[in-house]
Structure 1
Amino acid sequence: MFIQNASAATLLIWGDSLSAAYGIEQNTAWPKLLEQKLQSEGYRYPVINASISGETTAGGRVRLPAALAEHKPAVVIIELGANDGLRGLPLAALRSNLDSMIRAAQGTGAKVVLIGMRMPPNFGPLYTGKFQETYAALAKERKTALLPFLFDGFATRAELFQADMLHPTSAAQPLILQNIWPVLKPLLKK
């Protein structure tokens, strides 16, 4: 993690285990790879990864105001909702919590990237469809950047996931960054 200085705008990653480097070395995780890419491309954004394994949108919603006040981010990447879905929590709560976090971040002047997830088909087409639609609808409504699916392009490649088949391996982290970068880059300033 960078030490913030007065001339640098902070980038806050607000996620769950998929961003918290669950089961892998921190220095191989996509937030660390993002930090390195920002440096190599001349962007002066300290990266604060405040992701917590097991976090739900309800927990993220409660914690976010203090983090916004402390870090004063210019950009917030919200990667939450997978744990809500895996627990079968109500989609109305998912939407309300994500919406609250987007509005809170935008209310401080931060730009937001919303990262969507998809649920396994065993949750049924109604739940999985509405779960996925929640991210697109919120991004459109709140005029925020959207990555529809964090694992786009490699979700079916079992060798890129840990034994639980939920958490990506170190080898998958560059692919996650490849998905995030085109959505994030237009929001950055040099």
Structure 2
Amino acid sequence: MNRFANLAMIFTLVAGLISCNTKEKNASEAKADTAAAAAAPPAKKKTIVFFGNSLTAAYGLDDPSLGFAGLIQKRIDSLKLNYKVINAGVSGETTAGGNGRIDWLLKQPLDIFVLELGGNDGLRGIPVSETRKNLQAIMDKVKAKYPAAQIVLAGMQIPPNMGQQYASDFRQVYAALAKENNVKLIPFLLEGVGGESKLNQPDGIHPTAEGHRILAENVWVIIKDLL
């Protein structure tokens, strides 16, 4: 009996040692995994480019980050999404001007491209065919350089100052281009803001900070599924 008792004691001690070694090994491996994770560089942020005119540039606001593009960045940050917003808005920009500077902008990689141009074309009475051609050219250049990029087209409307037919043709350009190019469409960027005096600055064209919050919602509804 003593022999069997001694054997049982030996087996117990060996099992205990194996168990301790296993626990120490697991703890060591866990520490190594944690250290490796801490040492790993953070994932590179993807880029959203807002390419537009004074609406994108937040014209008239003391703090450009209060414009809709800046508000989109704040929402992205609050949701801890791995994206950075680049505001490429230039006040007074027409679609021709945008087509002229897009090549320079495309020197930097992008993942989502939000095209907000055309409003100044409409206010100047530029032929709708020219606006359409320039918007298409801009999208073609983006797709050629970054085929995997998602494109979002911000629709615009203008008052009938240039005539009802011109205003109608202008409005329809955006929906037609979005369908032909299979890109996301913001039906009307200024929905809920255009024509509302309390939501616009004294010029009646550029939104106030409160107006930009509505624009940001109009944009977010469309782009959130792309993030």
TM-score bucket (shorter structure): over 0.9
Instruction: For structure 2, list consecutive stretches of 5 or more residues without a partner in the other structure.
Output: 1-41
1:111 aligns with 2:180: no
Partner SS for 2:122: helix
What is the TM-score normalised by the length of structure 1?
Answer: 0.92
For CA contacts below 8 A with separation 6 or more, give which structure has more relative contact order: 1
Q: Letter of the 1:117 partner, please give it.
A: M
List per-residue Cα deviations over 1:41-62 (Å, max 9, x = no partner).
Answer: 1211111111100000001011
What is the TM-score normalised by the length of structure 2?
Answer: 0.78
**Largest Rg, 1 or 2:** 2
Cα distance in structure 2, aligned partners of 1:101 and 1:22: 23
2:46 maps to: 9
Aligned length: 183
Percent identical: 40
1:37 maps to: 75
List per-residue Cα deviations over 1:61-102 (Å, max 9, x = no partner).
Answer: 111122112x21100110000001100001111000000111
Cα distance in structure 2, aligned partners of 1:173 and 1:180: 10
Cα distance in structure 1, aligned partners of 2:224 and 2:65: 21
Q: Letter of the 1:154 partner, please give it.
A: V
1:136 maps to: 175
Cα distance in structure 1, aligned partners of 2:164 and 2:211: 27
Pairwise CA RMSD: 1.2
1:53 aligns with 2:91: yes
1:64 maps to: 102
Instruction: For structure 1, list consecutive stretches of 5 or more residues without a partner in the other structure.
Output: none
1:157 maps to: 196
Query: Is the CA contact (8 Å cut-off) linking 2:155 and 2:188 kept in structure 1?
Result: yes
Query: Is the CA contact (8 Å cut-off) linking 1:105 and 1:111 kept in structure 2?
Result: no
1:85 aligns with 2:126: no
